[in-house]
């Protein structure tokens, strides 16, 4: 038995004990919310659980093989009673087409499921596509043309459909960027991600997706996406989603003047766009460094930097934004990651835009959603904001598929 393999049962035993301990401490915290000792114990116990989960992960990591490579899609049959969307054969290959995507949107709206074979095919193909893209993607908006940036969707499929109703379906003439956190929290995350991946396959050069902090294995297991995939499809597909999420680009640069990322800026004043291009993103997000900060950081009113209330990433002031923009010859940044009453917020003297596209977040926040429209006029990027209210959705509560242990937190 190898040294690494000996770690596996040890890690599992630690996890069982610490999760049981965490459950008991959480009950104490709920019963006595002002008990400082209980809160501190809870925080320390959660840290131990995460550390041991990491130990388990690195112990078996060398044994993992790609789900995409192990699939035998040809052996998956389409049952005779399946009446949902079907990939069309183009040049001998099953391909995502506009009629397929339009049928998929309506099919899922009726709470019907895409056949697992087609879902797997979409994931395998989108993994290949993302693997060929850089960590920082450059986007060019021509003179007189418009471009739409959306923020967090968080599994709110019916609000995603409303964006397309208000702003038109993605197309070559109507390009979009979705800026992370497509899944978790909302209980229609599978529908959201399959729709977005289909548009990416249909319009690879006019539809863009960036990784958010919720496109990670740990967050998906805690906040519902993994449970939803397991319920609607298979655990194996959940693992395949993890492989795909690892390959999502981390940021986009529009017309060499606007940087778009999910979270925010960095601890290091010397960070450049070239540094971002060099990030090896094919991994789970680390707890520190540029990749972590791109996914987790937030702006603040005060100048300078401070530790993040989230526990990872940083908070950064307007002076940090000014310095970064000047160093990289940029005009402003667009980020997401935070609920805003109007669905958007402009801070740091107009140089930091937050856009959040999930209205009435988790069916309880009462916020509007929004998207940003950029248009090139006389060589300059003009920006406009569209806010909207939540629309009705089927009676499935948010977090319906979340891990029961973490649902207590």
Show which residues are catalytic.
Answer: 214
Tokens of 274: 């070239």
Distance CA 202, CA 283 (A): 26
Beta-ladder partners of 253: 138, 259
**Token digits for 79?**
């049952």
- Distance, CA of 266 to CA of 315 (rounded, Å): 9
CB proximity list for 337: less than 8 A, separation 6 or greater = 151, 152, 180, 181, 212, 213, 262, 263, 264, 296, 298, 354, 356
Cα dihedral 25, 28, 30, 36, rounded to 10, equals -90
Q: Do 265 and 320 meet the contact criterion of CB atoms below 8 Å apart?
A: yes
């Amino acid at each position: 038995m190898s040294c690494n393999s000996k770690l596996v049962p040890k890690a599992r035993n630690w996890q069982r004990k610490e999760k049981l301990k965490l459950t008991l401490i959480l009950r104490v915290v709920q019963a006595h919310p002002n008990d400082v000792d209980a809160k501190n114990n809870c925080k320390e116990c959660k840290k131990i659980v995460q550390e041991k989960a990491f130990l388990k992960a690195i112990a078996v990591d060398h044994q993992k093989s790609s789900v995409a490579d192990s699939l035998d899609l040809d052996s998956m049959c389409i049952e005779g009673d399946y009446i949902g969307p079907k990939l069309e054969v183009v040049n001998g290959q099953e391909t995502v087409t506009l009629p397929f995507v339009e049928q998929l949107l309506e099919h899922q709206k009726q709470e019907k499921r895409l056949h697992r074979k087609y879902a797997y095919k979409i994931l395998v193909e989108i993994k290949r596509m993302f693997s060929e893209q850089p960590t920082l993607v450059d986007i060019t908006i021509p003179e007189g043309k418009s471009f739409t940036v959306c923020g967090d969707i968080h599994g709110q499929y019916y609000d995603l459909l409303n964006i397309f109703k208000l702003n038109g379906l993605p197309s070559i003439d109507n390009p979009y960027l979705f800026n992370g956190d497509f899944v978790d929290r909302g209980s229609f995350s599978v529908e959201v991600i399959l729709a977005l991946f289909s548009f990416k396959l249909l319009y690879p050069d006019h539809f863009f997706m960036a990784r958010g902090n919720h496109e990670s294995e740990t967050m998906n297991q805690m906040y519902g996406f993994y449970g939803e995939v397991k319920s609607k499809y298979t655990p194996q597909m959940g693992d395949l989603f993890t492989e795909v999420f690892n390959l999502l680009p981390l940021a986009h640069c529009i017309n060499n003047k606007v940087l778009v990322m999910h979270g925010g800026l960095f601890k290091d004043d010397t960070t450049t766009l070239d540094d971002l291009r060099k990030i090896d993103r094919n991994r789970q997000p680390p707890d520190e460094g540029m990749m972590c900060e791109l996914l987790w950081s937030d702006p603040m009113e005060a100048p300078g930097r401070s530790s993040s209330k989230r526990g990872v990433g940083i908070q950064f002031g307007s002076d940090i934004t000014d310095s970064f923009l000047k160093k990289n010859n940029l005009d402003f940044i667009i980020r997401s990651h935070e609920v805003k009453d109007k669905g958007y917020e402009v801070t740091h003297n107009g140089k930091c835009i937050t856009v959040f596209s999930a209205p009435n977040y988790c069916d309880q926040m009462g916020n509007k959603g929004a998207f940003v429209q950029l248009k090139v006029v006389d060589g300059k990027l003009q920006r406009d904001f569209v806010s909207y209210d939540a629309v009705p959705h089927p009676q499935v509560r948010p977090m319906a598929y979340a891990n029961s242990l973490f649902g207590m937190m």
